[in-house]
Amino acid sequence: MKSAWKRAAVGVLCCAMAGAMGAGVARGQAKAAPTPEEAKKFIEEAEQRLFDLNNKASRASWVEENFITDDTEQIAADANEILNTASAKYAKEAHRYDGVKLSPELARKRLLLELATNFPAPDDPKAQKELAQVLASLDGDYGKGKWCPEGDKKPCMDVTAIERLMATSRDPEELKRAWIGWHAVGAPMRDRYARMVELGNQGSRELGYADAGALWRSNYDMPPDAFTKDLDRLWDQLRPLYLSLHAYVRGQLVKK
């Protein structure tokens, strides 16, 4: 009697589990089959949200680049963190509609959502904040950077003044000094730049790309590897002209 009772209980339990699993599979199948109307709604909402966030981040960056202080740098970092995190989120969610038959216009918009961020933030709040801080600090340091030709003595030259000198000077020694001097300004940024690349690669892999470079190369209506091959093909065609032009310019400079 007890054995029969146990067998009955086990049977009921198995049926319940099978029913729950069947319901779960059904829900999964329903979720895996979005409609074109759902895709259109998602794309429109994502576009509007990213448009608003991009405007806010652009305003914050403009203020930071024109009035570089610790406060404006933090404001820009906060705004870009929100934008970058949202862009990565929508890029992941957009893949749900990869198999949905859409109009060419909507299909293009879906693809652009998947490629909406240059340095996608990893799916981790601490990493997202760190990436935003690194990007803002690099931007601020580049804008604040100065090269002093006479050491600590003034006047010193910022990036705009050095660009002007490089464009107008014909003195090889002066150009060399400016080149070396400005690159010394960038040396303290090296570790942060490497960390930026590391975080961007991590975020790109979470989106299904090998690294941030593969993400960037996906922006040209072809797979990343195909873009690399096409670029090599074009370079092989252009290389003879480039070498001839380089040799000609060098010869003309020697005459001077």
Q: What is the DSSP string of 104-124?
A: HHHHHHHHHHHT--SSPPPSS
Sequence-separated (6 or more) residues with CB below 8 Å from residue 114: 91, 94, 95, 207
CB-based burial, 37-64: b 16+ in 10 Å, e otherwise: eebbebbeebeeebeebbeebeebbebb
Burial environment of residue 89 by CB neighbours within 10 A (0 to 12, 13 to 18, 19 or more): middle
- The model's pLDDT over 1-12, given as tens digits with 9 standing for 90+, comes to 444 444 544 454
The amino acid at residue 48 is: Q
pLDDT in the model for residue 117: 84
* 72, HSE (Cβ side, Cα atoms, 13 Å): 17
pTM equals: 0.74
**Distance between CA atoms of residues 112 and 53, nearest Å:** 16
pLDDT, tens digit (0-9, with 9 covering 90-100), for 59-102: 999 999 899 899 999 999 999 999 999 999 999 999 999 989 99
Q: What is the pLDDT along the chain (256 residues), one digit of tens a residue?
A: 444 444 544 454 444 444 544 555 445 444 657 899 999 999 999 999 999 999 999 999 999 989 989 999 999 999 999 999 999 999 999 999 998 999 999 999 999 998 888 889 899 999 999 999 999 999 999 888 999 988 877 789 999 999 999 999 989 899 999 999 999 988 999 999 999 999 999 999 999 999 999 999 998 888 999 999 999 999 999 999 999 999 999 998 888 7
Residue 6: its pLDDT value, please?
Answer: 45
Q: How far is CA 146 from CA 61, 66, 142, 167, 188, in A?
A: 20, 15, 9, 18, 13
